[in-house]
Amino acid sequence: MKKQGLNPYLPSWEYVPDGEPYVFNGRVYVYGSHDRFNGHAFCLDDYVCWSAPVDDLGDWRYEGVIYKKTDDPLNPDSRMCLYAPDVTVGPDGRYYLYYVLDKVSIVSVAVCDTPAGKYEFYGYVRYADGTRLGEREGDEPQFDPGVLTEGERTYLYTGFCAIGDKSRHGAMATVLGPDMLTIVEEPVFVAPSEPYGKGSGFEGHEFFEAPSIRKKGDTYYFVYSSIAMHELCYATSKFPTKGFVYQGVVVSNNDLHIDSYKPADKPMYYGGNNHGSIVDINGKWFVFYHRHTNGTAFCRQGCIEPIAFREDGTLLQAEMTSCGPNGGPLAGRGEYPAYLACNLFCKDEELYTGGFGQSGAWLDSRFPKITQDGKDGDEEIGYIANMTDSATAGFKYFDCHGIRKIKIKVRGYCHGVFEVKTAWDGPALGNIPVNFSNIWTEYFADLVIPDGIQALYFTYRGSGSASLSSFTLLGDE
């Protein structure tokens, strides 16, 4: 039986952000960096790969570790981390992995005969004289490589540009020859940094990091993280190294700009940096991006949403959901884990997860967070912790018919109720009383969810702090 696609699409104990999706031989392969649960920094673990059949985005398979931090000759003691990678197929049919270590400004390359086999170090991107890109006088630092190969030319996009840093001019495009290493056209700037955005059309959405490139028809789509960080934006051109025009936002990991179910400027999740891309899977287009968990910047999980193109080739911004990979609503019956929450907030509003943005506020015990028990690598199913009075978890969407009862699993020092609603600011359809328990305890309530496609919101009202493990939708049978 075909599985439902869920967000996040990988198991809740897996932390693979910066997703670059590709379809090879009937399967979707996702390449990304690899965060560590409760880690102290970004990207502490080795590269892994996951894949799924193109016709079943609920059936993801772990392909294993494809490249270790110590595989790069510059990193024998693993003191450096593997930052966001990308993969392309070279003219020789082999798969090339491009990446940057976190403490150097050059682009490394590894190669493999298969999409998810063991990649082997291949070399560094370099000029014809052998000087490595990023080390020649006048070079700007390399970061977050994105790659696209057409014939014997590979287009390499790189860059990291903080607000106010005039030493960095924007995203760079460099053309490589058939050996996948040697530069045949030197770097040019294709999207401006914030100090150079005036009059460019990118104002307010200038390039920050995470360049990614895709082609649809005769149009190149340059996807990137803007200076707002929470949003993946895009620009388009008919040429791979010039003429890019800013077009809009593909997705935001706190759902800013979306006004279909809430005010456009209201964050519905705790945002942070974002990185991902778009891909055609079996004739349907999706955006891959990531969200932040555990109340920190360093535990990011991959998510997927369908995207729609207008007739002129521009995109509608995707809405964050719990059902994105499914391509439609989830079944309105059965048990669902709480870590699928696509909306998470409380009365103390914050745009960003710890350390991001202007406030610099870390998410403390005032704020709900998705987390797990155990340590990194333990296959412990995620849940929502720190649900104090007003904390709300939202799940979208479900095809509901005949729901007459809801069950929740809760633990914690809490005494109060969970309100059940179909809109974040809507009336409570009913309350589920909860009390203190050291173990996961089931609580029921008889209440009717209207038939049709619905969102579900659970708001805690009471004293103490509750943790929510799951909810179950039941009929009257």
pLDDT, one tens digit per residue, over 290-331 is 999 999 899 999 999 999 999 999 999 999 999 999 999 999
Among candidate residues 45, 86, 206, 209, the one labeled active-site is 209
Per-residue tokens: 1: 């039986």
- CA 313, CA 402: separation in Å to the nearest integer? 40
- CA 402, CA 238: separation in Å to the nearest integer? 51
* Peptide bond preceding 220 in cis form (omega within 30 of 0): no
Are residues 352 and 474 in contact, defined by beta-carbon separation less than 8 angstroms? no
In tens, the pLDDT along 223-233 reads 999 999 999 99
Which SS3 state, helix, strand or coil, does residue 339 take? helix
Q: Which pLDDT band, with edges at 50, 70 and 90, does 360 fall under?
A: very low
* Close Cβ partners of 312 (under 8 Å, ≥ 6 residues apart): none
Report which of residues 112 and 476 the model is more confident about.
Answer: 112
How deeply is 197 buried, as exposed, middle or buried, from its count of CB atoms within 10 A (0-12, 13-18, 19+)?
buried
18 is catalytic: yes
Angle of CA points 248, 250, 254, to nearest 5°: 110
Does domain 332-475 bear CATH number 2.60.120.260? yes
Among candidate residues 18, 206, 305, 319, the one labeled active-site is 18
231 is catalytic: no
Amino acid present at 207: F
The count of residues in the chain is: 477
Pairing of strands 146-150, 284-292: unpaired
Within its chain, how far is the Cα of 101 from the centroid? 20
Number of other residues whose CB lies within 10 A of the CB of residue 165: 12
Q: What is the mean pLDDT of residues 366-387?
A: 96
In tens, the pLDDT along 174-214 reads 999 999 999 999 999 999 999 999 999 999 999 999 999 99
Mean pLDDT of the chain: 96
Per-residue tokens: 109: 């390359």
- CA 413, CA 427: separation in Å to the nearest integer? 26
The domain segmentation of the chain, as residue ranges, is: 19-328, 332-475
Which of these, 184, 182, 155, lies nearest to 171 by C-alpha position? 155
Q: Which residues pair with 101 in a beta bridge?
A: 82
In terms of pTM, does the model score above 0.95? yes
* pLDDT number for residue 358: 44
- Flag whether pLDDT at 354 surpasses 80: no
* Close Cβ partners of 462 (under 8 Å, ≥ 6 residues apart): 389, 414, 415, 416, 417, 434
Per-residue tokens: 381: 């199913």
* pLDDT number for residue 363: 73
Does domain 19-328 bear CATH number 2.115.10.20? yes
Q: Is the dihedral of CA 288, 96, 109, 80 positive or negative?
A: positive
